């Protein structure tokens, strides 16, 4: 399903005078002060955005991470608390990095999904007041979801007419990475593309993303502990805590499966000087693991190839191994066994899938086939449709691609966040 059009907020048809322009600008400034007093993180972030009228191309509000663009008619009839809500809405799009996460998804549906995530946070935490005359996209059934998982449900569940009944987009969404034709936008000298929307080079976009992260850290420090939404607090923790290399964590998890025990066949060198025969360690360096590769619709071929590359790296770490590999979406595909004798054949392994996501199908498959690995490793984006799996069947490591949400944690086993 591809949605070509979607109802957006209708702005009132009013005469725009200099007096009205000043009134609206002052209203935004007052709302920004209100956020500083009541929600200091959002207020501090808002003061870092340059307020800029964009009535000519923006019917509501928008941001590129540096500016708060606004339409005079849209804000003219709003209360100060409603303006606070809209400003915080724009800030969360920046904080959650929604502008770069669309990739090849339908732009309208992705925008709806992003609005559900943002609006849920604002309504739940009482930040401003949602505009009473606008039926925005907001539903607490999506609490704790990522925008990508909301997208998957909406894409499958609703047609264009049904989407119109769900709500209206509160703002104009700027796609940093693609234009309406799916191409990277070519910036003009003044940083604008046709229609007035901002367009930047990839280098400039990365600068903006880095600036947003710096602004988040500064705003969080100014707000103080306990004054942040839970999701943002986790993100700040991710930015500030020292990180252990994820490959090292995975290596340790695999290493812990290797059997070792004491033997009298090879005395410990440390005991030679005593004349006593003491046991040394006997190592069985064979690793015996099963690996599942998530190839659901939310995983691209490039990500799948990355996962295979990491598995190849695991093989190169050990001289002897028994590794079962399969792909899955809502069912298991293409199981293959690899040992030191045929490990090079991994290069020809075919990735299969592309449907929905059902993590539990892996445990059902292992039980049916009598597979009992010392460790079960799942490469995934951490977006199950329902259950994460069976916590009691075997030791499990979830290697979660962190492109979408670096705060995703599995409810059992070990979570390792995979980064490009």
Q: How confident is the model at residue 276 (pLDDT cuts 50, 70, 90)?
A: very low
Residues 228 and 276 in one domain: no
Report the range of poorest mean pLDDT among 4-8, 102-106, 414-418.
4-8
> Are 292 and 367 in the same domain?
yes
Q: Per-residue pLDDT for 269 more than 70?
A: no
Q: What is the CATH number of the domain that holds 379?
A: 3.40.50
In a domain, 3, yes or no: no
**Do 189 and 56 reside in the same domain of the chain?**
yes
Model pLDDT for residues 319-376, shown as the tens digit of each residue:
788 899 999 988 999 999 998 888 888 888 888 887 788 899 999 999 999 999 889 9
- pLDDT in the model for residue 300: 66
Residue pLDDT, tens place only, 187-216: 333 344 445 677 778 888 889 989 999 999
The residue from 204, 220, 240 where one domain ends is 240
Q: Are residues 134 and 221 in the same domain?
A: yes
The verdict on residue 26 lying in a domain is yes
Q: Is residue 125 part of a domain?
A: yes
Give the H or E element holding residue 338. strand 332-338
Domain hosting 333: range is 246-418
Looking at the structure of the chain, the number of domains it has is 2
Query: Is there a single domain that holds both residue 326 and residue 387?
Result: yes
| 409 within a domain of the structure (yes/no) | yes
pLDDT tens-digit map of 225-234:
778 888 888 8
Judge if 316 and 346 occupy the same domain. yes
pLDDT tier at 30, thresholds 50, 70, 90: very high
Instruction: Using the 3D structure, point to which of 197, 217, 240 is the last residue of a domain.
Output: 240
Examine the domain organization and report whether 174 and 272 are in the same domain. Answer: no
Residue 7 in any domain: the answer is no
pLDDT in tens, 279-293: 444 444 567 889 999
Q: Are residues 222 and 90 in the same domain?
A: yes
The string of DSSP letters for 213-278 reads HHHHHHHHHHH-TT-S-HHHHHHHHHHHSPPPPHHHHHHHHHHTTS-EEEESSS--GGGGGGT---
- Split at pLDDT 50, 70, 90, the class of 385 is low
Backbone angles phi, psi at 280, to 5 degrees: -105, 180
CA atoms within a 13 Å half-sphere pointing along the CA-CB vector of 158: 19
Whether residue 131 contacts residue 75, with contact meaning beta carbons closer than 8 Å, is answered with: no
241 pLDDT above the threshold of 80: no
8 A C-beta contact, residue 56 and residue 62 = no
Do residue 42 and residue 130 come from a single domain?
A: yes
Give the end of a domain, one of 190, 224, 240: 240
In a domain, 359, yes or no: yes
As a whole number, the mean pLDDT across the chain is 79
| Contact present, 238 and 230 (Cβ < 8 Å) | no
């Amino acid at each position: 399903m591809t949605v070509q059009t979607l109802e957006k907020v209708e702005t009132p048809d009013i005469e725009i005078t200099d007096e009205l322009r000043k009134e609206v600008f002052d209203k935004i400034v007052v709302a920004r002060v209100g956020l500083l007093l009541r929600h200091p993180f959002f207020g501090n972030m808002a003061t870092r955005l340059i307020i800029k009228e964009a009535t000519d191309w923006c019917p509501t509000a928008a941001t590129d991470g540096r500016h708060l663009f606004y339409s005079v008619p849209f804000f003219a009839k709003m209360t100060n608390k409603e303006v606070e809500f809209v400003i915080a809405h724009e800030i969360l799009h920046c904080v959650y990095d929604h502008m770069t996460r669309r990739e090849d998804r339908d732009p309208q549906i992705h925008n709806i999904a992003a609005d559900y995530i943002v609006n849920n946070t604002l309504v739940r935490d009482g930040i401003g007041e949602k505009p009473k005359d606008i039926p925005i996209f907001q539903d607490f059934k999506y609490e704790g979801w990522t925008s990508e998982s909301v997208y998957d449900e909406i894409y499958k569940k609703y047609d264009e007419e049904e989407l119109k009944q769900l709500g209206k987009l509160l703002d104009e969404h700027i796609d940093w990475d693609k234009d309406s034709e799916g191409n990277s936008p070519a910036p003009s000298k003044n940083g604008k593309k046709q229609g007035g929307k901002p367009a930047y080079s990839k280098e400039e976009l990365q600068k903006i993303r880095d600036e947003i992260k710096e602004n988040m850290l500064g705003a969080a420090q100014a707000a103080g502990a306990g004054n942040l939404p839970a999701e943002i607090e986790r993100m700040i923790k991710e930015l500030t805590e020292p990180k252990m290399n994820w490959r090292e964590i995975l290596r340790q998890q695999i290493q812990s499966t290797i059997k070792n025990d004491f033997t009298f066949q090879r005395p410990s060198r440390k005991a030679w000087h005593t004349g006593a025969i003491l046991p040394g360690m006997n190592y069985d360096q064979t690793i015996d693991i099963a690996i599942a590769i998530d190839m659901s619709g939310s995983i691209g071929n490039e990500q799948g190839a990355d996962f295979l590359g990491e598995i190849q790296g695991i093989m190169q770490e050990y001289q002897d191994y028994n590794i079962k590999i399969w792909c899955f979406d809502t069912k298991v595909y293409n199981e293959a066994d690899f040992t030191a004798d045929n490990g090079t054949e991994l290069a020809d392994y075919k990735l299969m899938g592309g449907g929905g996501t059902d993590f539990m199908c892996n445990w059902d498959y292992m039980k049916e086939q009598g597979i009992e690995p010392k460790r079960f490793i799942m490469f995934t984006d951490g977006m199950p449709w329902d259950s994460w799996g069976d916590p009691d069947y075997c030791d499990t490591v979830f290697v979660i691609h962190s492109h979408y949400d670096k705060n995703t944690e599995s409810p059992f086993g070990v979570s390792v966040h995979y980064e490009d």
